[in-house]
Structure 1
Amino acid sequence: MKKITTLAIILLSVFSLQAKKVKFAVDMGTYTINPNGIHLMSDFQMAIGLAADWDPSTLSLTQEGSSSIYSVIVNIPAFTKYEFKFVNGIYGYEAEFVPDQSRVGYSFNDNRWLYVDSLKNDTTFVGAIPFSGNAPAGKKLIRFLVDMSNETSVSSNGVHVAGNFQAQTWNTKNNILYSFGGGVYEVIAYAPAGNYEFKYYNGNTSGDTETVPASCATNNNRTHNLIADTILPTVCYKACVSCALASVFEY
């Protein structure tokens, strides 16, 4: 029994060292709140000690004061991609409808997703997402996609994007991109409507930046005028177009 207890303590300690606090919050707006409460169903429920993943009834969110926002903070392993949905009730059919811009999208996957990339002693929080919506109040969603297929290698520090859309502008470490496959890396960010400049980085330092071709550059940067929730076109790293077209133009 003592050996089992010791092993459990060791495993818990290892998990704690690798875990990250993440806050999930949903703004229910004018939706009528189900008497059974607001819940989160996800693929990390077993990782936090619940009986099963994707159970819509076991991970409750708590109302923040008298507001329309409900939230929960969980400790989950870092350096992992997670999928989830908010539920107005306790049954799967009461889950939200996730808009195209926010969903995984591949293979008809309609879950929300988040990549946890940090072990910093803080709490990752992107803001309260509207139920069945895209972006926190006062902001728009922007989904960055870059194809690294033509690069000899991808940095072990990951692929990043930085620009003046960030709260801490041009921070090359804050927005890491995740790949669902095919050499394409992406991340969802949120910013107020506005005209933004940005670049992709094969790594996480200013020296790892791409050189944006003059034909699609402003101040040597990529640009986008963010007026609505947007999935940007997939571009080839260091190019203005897709990697398929970039390869054609090169020869």
Structure 2
Amino acid sequence: MQKQSSSSIDNTAKTNSTNSSSTIPTCMKLESPKSETKFTDNRIIVKCTGSNTIQSVTLNVHDARKSKSVKVLNLYYNNRPEADFSELKKNRSLWKCAKSCHLTFNQTELKVEFPVPIIACNFMIQLDSFYENLQALSLEPLLCPRCSRPVIDKHWICGNCHENAYQCRQCRIINYEDLDSFLCNECGCNKYGRFEFNFMAKPSFIFGSMENDEDMKRGLAAIESESENAHCIYQQLMDFKKPLLKIVSSIGENEIDS
């Protein structure tokens, strides 16, 4: 029996190591390239490109103010890849509650571990209620988001740079429906601290069960679409095969001639 060369053994070991490491949970930030995020005045909705097995979620609040902080934080999830953001925002029945967390006043760190990892391609963080230090809020002046000077105009216009004091410091959007909203409904920025969420997660290939005819239709459409994509990629690889073989053979001929 022919012995396997040491180089092929090394290559096999590397391949096995790569395959096994790909299943190890890694830290995924909220603004990961593999996800898209939308906001409301008190919710953060994350839609991933694929399904993930999530083991834990951590929260860090940087530059926290003592005038207002989160009291209750709710974590929701679902595993419906076909849902769009408008549906995820409006249809609360799509979501399952993973955990409800009660924070202490001005708490800046939180880690939530799931005894049974959750499988999700959509995740929602809801800031349900808040602590308010009324004395600190009353002493806290309304500052211009552009030049940071106090604004005393009754129409909220800065006397120095003439900007509206209620526009978002980061994206300049004004939420006229709720001027005192905790989060900017466009970019998620808030003036009471900088929130950083991290997920310990790994890719999952488990999807939710089909519960009705509509789910079955969407599942069949997804299978058809992925089959077409796989066929297109296969055709592209076959198109590359002949030119690559020609290049390899020409290299071999040049080595023999030299």
Q: TM-score, normalization: structure 2? A: 0.20
Pair member with larger Rg = 2
Q: Going by fraction, where is helix more abundant, 1 or 2?
A: 2
Q: TM-score, normalization: structure 1? A: 0.20
- Higher relative contact order, structure no. (Cα contacts within 8 Å, ≥ 6 residues apart): 2
